[in-house]
Structure 1
C-alpha cells in the first residue's frame, strides 16, 4: 500500500483528482488530494504573500501531520513546482515523484521563466487586487484565480532532485495547439533516470485519460 499525495495545477483545487483518488483507493492505496492556499475552497486565504514556498509548506505540513513516510507525490502542471520543492525539503519521506504534464524545475527556476510568452500573457491578466492571475481560457469552470507570487517566485533547492530515485513524467500529447511541456518531455525521454509516458489527451489528463493515468501511477508505486 502506498500513500499518494496529489497536488493540483494552477487555479485548481483537490477536486480535480476526485476520480483518480477513488481509483487509487479502490486498489488499496491511500490518496490525499490537496488544495493549496489561496485556491478553491481555500480562496479566502488569498493574499499577496501567498507564494511558491507557501504551497510547498502546505504539503510538507501534511506529510508531517499525517506522519507520511512513503509518499508518492503527484503534481499536475504547476504542481510540478511544488512536488519538486517538497521532495527537496523532505527527501526521506518521498519514494516517488510523478509529474503529470507538469513543470520540472531546477534550482532558481520559476513558472514564469519555464513557460512560453503565451502563458506569460495569461499570467499577466490579474484580478483587481493584483494578487492573482485569472484562470486560463480552457480551465474547468470551477477554477479560481491563482496566487501570482507563486508563479513568479524562483524555487530554491538545496540538494540534487535525482536523489529521489523513482521519477515519472506523463506527457499530454493531445494539446490544442503547441504544448509548453514538449521540450520537457523530449529532454526527459532521453534521460535513462526517468520513466516517461505520452498519453493521447489534453492537458487535463485526469479527465482525458483517467484509466491510463491510473495504471501509470499504480506502476510508479510498485516496490522496486
Structure 2
C-alpha cells in the first residue's frame, strides 16, 4: 500500500483529484486530496497573510497529524512549489515527488520567476481586495481566487532532501499554445536522476489523461 498526498494547482481545491483519489483507493492505496488555505471550501480563510509558507505548513501538518510515512507527494502546476518545500522540511517522510505539469523550483525562486509573461499577466488580474488572483474564465466553476502572496514569495530550501528519492515529471504536451513548462521538461529529460513522461494532454492531466496518469502513479508507488 502506498500513501499519496495530492496538491492542486492555482485556484483549485482537493476536488480536482476526486476521480484519481477514488481510483487510487480502489487499488488499495491511501490517497489524501488536500485543499490549501484560502481556496475552495477553505476560501473563507483567505487574507493577505496567506503565502507559500502557509501552504507548505498545510501539508506538513497533515503528514504530522496523520503520522504519514513513505509518502508520494503529487503536485499539479503551482503544487510543485508546495511539494518541493514539504520534501525539504520533512525529507524522512517523503519517498517520491511527482510533478504534474508543474514548476520545479530551486532555492530563492518564486512562482512569478518560473512562468512566462502570459502567466504573469494573469497574476495581475487581482480581486477588488488586491490580495488574490482571479480564476481564468474557462476554469471549473468551483475555482476560487488564489492568494497572490503565494505566487510572489520565494521558496527557501536547503537542497539536501533529494537523497534516495524518486522524482517524476509528467509533462502535458497538448497545450493549445506554448507551454510554460516545456523548458523544465526538456531539462529534466537530460537528468538521469529524474523519470519523465510526456502525455498527449492539456494542462489538466487529471481530467484529460486520467488512465495514463493513474498508471504512472501506480508505477511510482510500486517502485518506491
Q: TM-score, length-normalised on structure 1? A: 0.98
Distance, in Å, in 2 between the alignment partners of 1:131 and 1:45 is 12
Gap change, CA 1:85 and 1:164, over 3 Å in 2:
farther
Query: Equivalent residue for 1:149?
Result: 149
Q: Deviations over 1:102-132 (max 9, x none)?
A: 0100000100010011100000100001110
Q: Supply the distance in 1 between the matched residues of 2:54 and 2:14 (Cα, whole angstroms).
A: 16
- Which residue of 1 is the match for residue 8 of structure 2? 8
Instruction: Write the deviation string for residues 151-198 of structure 1: whole angstroms up to 9, x where unpaired.
Output: 000000023353252000000000010100000100001101000000
- Structure 2 partner of 1:132: 132
Count of aligned pairs: 224
Taking the aligned partners of 2:191 and 2:81, their CA distance within structure 1 comes to: 19
Does the aligned pair in 1 maintain the 2:8–2:14 contact within 8 Å? Answer: yes
- Give the distance between the partners of 2:152 and 2:167, measured in 1 at CA: 25
Say what the alpha-carbon RMSD is for the aligned residues: 0.9
Inter-partner Cα distance in structure 1 for 2:93 and 2:13: 23
Contact 1:96 1:164 in 2 (8 A): no
Q: Distance in 1 between matches of 2:128 and 2:163?
A: 42
Q: Is the 8 A contact 1:77 1:102 kept in 2?
A: yes
Q: Counterpart of 2:154 in 1: which secondary structure?
A: coil
- Counterparts of residues 150-169 of structure 1 (less than 5 Å): 150-163=150-163, 165-169=165-169
Displacement of 1:138 after TM fit?
3.3
1:63 pairs with 2:66? no
Alignment of 1:179 with 2:203, yes or no, is no
Aligned to 2:205: 205
Unpaired runs of at least 5, structure 2: none
1:97-112 alignment to 2 at 5 Å? 97-112=97-112
Q: Which residue of structure 2 lines up, in the alignment, with residue 31 of structure 1? A: 31
Query: Where does the alignment leave 5 or more consecutive residues of structure 1 unmatched?
Result: none
Distance 1:141 1:206 in 2: 16
